[in-house]
Structure 1
């Protein structure tokens, strides 16, 4: 009886869509990225960022201080090159997702580090 009940519960959980499923949707178009993200004050932990409509970006990192750089929307990705503590980071293209309240940026075209951002 116990095994049947356990099996039933496991099968039910595996076949039922999870209520906490990921609600982030990928931003694919430049126009959507511009409307949602550009020229907004963003925060990720104690850090800040502004991705500006003139192709520039800047902000402040808790440990490294102020940074700046340039960005462009390329083939469905946010591509940016930053200068942090006088060192250029090199261009990195990031997958951007939005859940209606928060943003999620994933480096290396969605294969790298994830950063969650909120609007300040």
Structure 2
């Protein structure tokens, strides 16, 4: 089973139905973001997360629960995330939509990023 330390990198960026474009496009409004994530599960290997319109985050990362809250500030998705009970901290992230995927880039687009499938 993967360690929490190795999986925490998956959540560094986090830390879905808009039109599908051939290249990525920045999501800049809460309205568009909510349309994107409503009723969807964000997935990547060993990770399944729901980012809910009510501001909650829930799911699993490896064998541990993922919980948290989010809000939209300016043009950024800002989240406070917990994984297996450990705080991963507050971070505001750039959101991009790609064909069938959503990408979160930490530190307002200047940090690490992680892409998730939209299921």
Which of the five TM-score ranges fits, normalised by the shorter chain? 0.7 to 0.9
> Post-superposition, which runs of at least 4 consecutive aligned residues in structure 1 deviate over 4 A?
none
Q: Which has the larger radius of gyration?
A: 1
| Superimposed CA distance per residue, residues 22-78 of structure 1 (whole angstroms, 9 cap, x where no aligned partner) | 81000001111011123311102221110011111011111x511101100111111
Pairs aligned (count): 98
Point out which structure has higher relative CO (alpha carbons under 8 A, 6+ apart): 2
Return the TM-score normalized by structure 2. 0.76
Q: Which runs of 5+ in 2 are unaligned?
A: 1-21
Return the TM-score normalized by structure 1. 0.75
RMSD over aligned Cα atoms:
1.5
The match for 1:97 is 96
Structure (1/2) with the larger helix percentage: 1
Q: Which runs of 5+ in 1 are unaligned?
A: 1-21
Any residues of structure 2 matched to 1:37-116 within 5 Å, and which? Answer: 37-62=37-62, 65-116=64-115
